[in-house]
Amino acid sequence: MPSATERQIAHLIDPAHIKAIDVLGPTIQFLTAPEDSTAPCIMRGSIPAGVSIPLHSHGDPETFIVISGTVEGLIHRETDFEWARVNPGDIFHVPGHAKHAWRNEGLVPAVMIIVSTSRMGRLLQELGRPMLPLRPVAPPAPAEIQRFLQTSERYGYWNASPAENAQVGLALPA
């Protein structure tokens, strides 16, 4: 991440040199620092093949631009829902408080640029764990899930129950 002085001038950001964090399977790289509360938080996120992000909502708007792979984003209405296929170049916008979810049923990771608030970035920083390159992909442990739910609740975010996730076609790890 550039120093405070470097952030005051135009500069290139090399994503290969930005540390990634693991947020229960998906990974995040911060392209802009979430500590700057006056600017949007720009992130590069990846959802591995076979991984879902459960149904949730929060006051922070998010805009996702898929750059590789394919993913499905949930459009949740009061009486129904639909999964929208989001391909490279597509833009998926989630207004604040809109219920949404993600699933990658493809064979390769889905990589996206994410634009949100610095508050969202700080939540993800708090939730994330440093990436361990040799760690095998495995469902999160119950303690990790509990920590995630408690932390996101402290930020005022809503997370669906396992039954609500099942209603939209998402099976959560037990």
Q: What pLDDT digit, counting tens, does each position of 18-39 carry?
A: 888 999 989 999 998 888 777 8
CATH number of the domain enclosing 84: 2.60.120.10
Q: Domain count of the chain?
A: 1
Please indicate, yes or no, if residue 172 is contained in any of the structural domains: no
Please indicate, yes or no, if residue 8 is contained in any of the structural domains: no
Tokens of 105: 């049923």
Please indicate, yes or no, if residue 63 is contained in any of the structural domains: yes
The lowest-confidence range among 71-85, 120-134, 156-170 is 120-134
Please indicate, yes or no, if residue 83 is contained in any of the structural domains: yes
DSSP reduced 3-state for 90: coil
Please indicate, yes or no, if residue 10 is contained in any of the structural domains: no
Strands (E), 1-133: 20-22, 27-30, 41-47, 52-57, 62-68, 71-76, 81-86, 91-94, 100-103, 110-116, 129-130
Predicted confidence band of residue 10 (pLDDT cuts 50, 70, 90): confident
Please indicate, yes or no, if residue 7 is contained in any of the structural domains: no
Is there a contact between 104 and 76 (Cβ–Cβ < 8 Å)? no
Q: What is the mean pLDDT of residues 134-153?
A: 84
Whole-model pTM: value is 0.89
Please indicate, yes or no, if residue 13 is contained in any of the structural domains: no
Please indicate, yes or no, if residue 1 is contained in any of the structural domains: no
Domain that holds residue 41: 19-132+139-167
